[in-house]
Amino acid sequence: MSERQTLRIEEQPGSVLVATLDRREVANAFDTRTAVDLQRLFSSLATSDDRRRCVVLTGAGDQAFCAGADLKERQGLTDEQWRAQHDTFERMYRSVLDCPIPVLAAVNGAAYAGGLELVLACDFAYASRTARFALTEVALGIMPGGGGTQTLPRAVGERRAKELILGARPFSAEEALAWGVVNKVSEPASLLEETLAAARRIAENAPLSVRQAKKAISAGLQTDLRAGMLLELEAYNSLVGTEDRREGIRAFNEKRKPRFTGR
Please, what is the end-to-end C-alpha distance for the chain in angstroms?
44
Per CATH, which fold does 207-253 belong to? Lyase 2-enoyl-coa Hydratase; Chain  A, domain 2 (1.10.12)
Distance CA 99, CA 29 (A): 22
Q: How confident is the model at residue 49 (pLDDT cuts 50, 70, 90)?
A: low
Query: If phi over 0 gives left and psi between -120 and 50 gives alpha, with beta otherwise, what is residue 49?
Result: alpha
Q: Quick check: 153 and 161 in contact, CB under 8 A?
A: yes
Is residue 9 scored above 80 in pLDDT? yes
Q: Which residues are catalytic?
A: 117, 137
Q: Which pLDDT value is given to residue 46?
A: 86
List pLDDT tens digits, range 84-122.
999 999 999 999 999 999 999 999 999 999 999 999 999
Q: How confident is the model at residue 47 (pLDDT cuts 50, 70, 90)?
A: confident
Q: Which pLDDT value is given to residue 2?
A: 38
Average pLDDT, the chain: 95
As beta bridge partners, residue 126 has: 106, 184
- The set of residues, in sequence order, having a beta carbon less than 8 Å from that of 1 and lying 6+ positions away, is none
Q: Which pLDDT value is given to residue 96?
A: 97
Is residue 51 scored above 70 in pLDDT? yes
**Burial letters 38-68, b for 16+ CB under 10 A, else e:** bbebbbebeeeeeebbbbbbbbbbeebbbbb
Domain borders along the chain are 7-203, 207-253
Query: Strands 103-107, 54-59: parallel, antiparallel or unpaired by DSSP?
Result: parallel
Distance CA 38, CA 95 (A): 8
Distance CA 6, CA 1 (A): 15
Q: Residue 124: what are its φ and ψ, rounded to 5°?
A: -165, 175
Is residue 1 scored above 80 in pLDDT? no
Q: How confident is the model at residue 5 (pLDDT cuts 50, 70, 90)?
A: confident
In eight-state DSSP terms, residue 30 is B
Burial of 182 (0-12, 13-18, 19+ CB in 10 A): buried
When computed from its CA atoms, the radius of gyration of the chain, rounded to whole angstroms, is 19
List pLDDT tens digits, range 163-216.
999 999 999 999 999 999 999 999 999 999 999 999 999 999 999 999 999 999
Distance CA 162, CA 63 (A): 27
Distance CA 55, CA 112 (A): 21
Distance CA 109, CA 101 (A): 24
User: CA geometry: angle at 100 spanning 258 and 96, to 5°?
Assistant: 135
Q: In what order do the strands lie in the sheet with 16-21?
A: 7-12, 16-21, 54-59, 103-107, 124-128, 184-186
The reply to whether 7-203 and 207-253 are identical in fold is no
Distance CA 47, CA 68 (A): 27
For the domain made up of 7-203, the CATH class stated in words is alpha beta
Q: What is the pTM of this model?
A: 0.93
* C-alpha distances out from residue 200 to 14, 58, 59, 147, 212, Å: 6, 16, 19, 28, 18
List pLDDT tens digits, range 238-251.
999 999 999 999 99
